[in-house]
Amino acid sequence: MTPSLEQPISTAEAKDILQKHKRYLTRRPGGILANFSHKNISGFDFSGMDLSQANFTGARCIGTNFTDCQFADTIFLPQTCATPTWKMHISSAPTCAVATLAEQT
């Protein structure tokens, strides 16, 4: 089944992915690398989270809050199957002091 970028994923699904990702990063049992590829996470608040190594390939992230996140080896590639297209603006700070997504014009 092809993931839909029309409807955002549920809060429960996002929390589950993030809990397993935290376990993955701390090498605890049950940990799984976060995979938000080709998912609609528009409007979610990920502020302050460690999203290192997570996969956001093709994700729709309009209005998503990534303030103060950690992004070591995180994959952000533009979505290819949905509009509007986006670009990411990240500060040069190691823990991403300011990160916002904006629609491309």
Quick check: 103 and 86 in contact, CB under 8 A? yes
Structure tokens at 86: 């986006």
Q: Tell which wins on pLDDT, 41 or 105.
A: 41
Question: For the segment 33-87, what is each residue's pLDDT rounded down to a tens digit?
Answer: 999 999 999 999 999 999 999 999 989 888 899 999 999 998 887 754 443 444 4
Q: Are 38 and 54 in contact (CB under 8 A)?
A: no
Is 90 exceeded by the pLDDT of residue 94? no
- The DSSP element (H or E) to which 12 belongs, if any, is helix 11-25
Tens of pLDDT along 15-42?
Answer: 999 999 999 999 999 999 999 999 999 9
- pLDDT tops 60 at residue 100: no
Q: Which H/E stretch holds residue 103?
A: strand 99-103
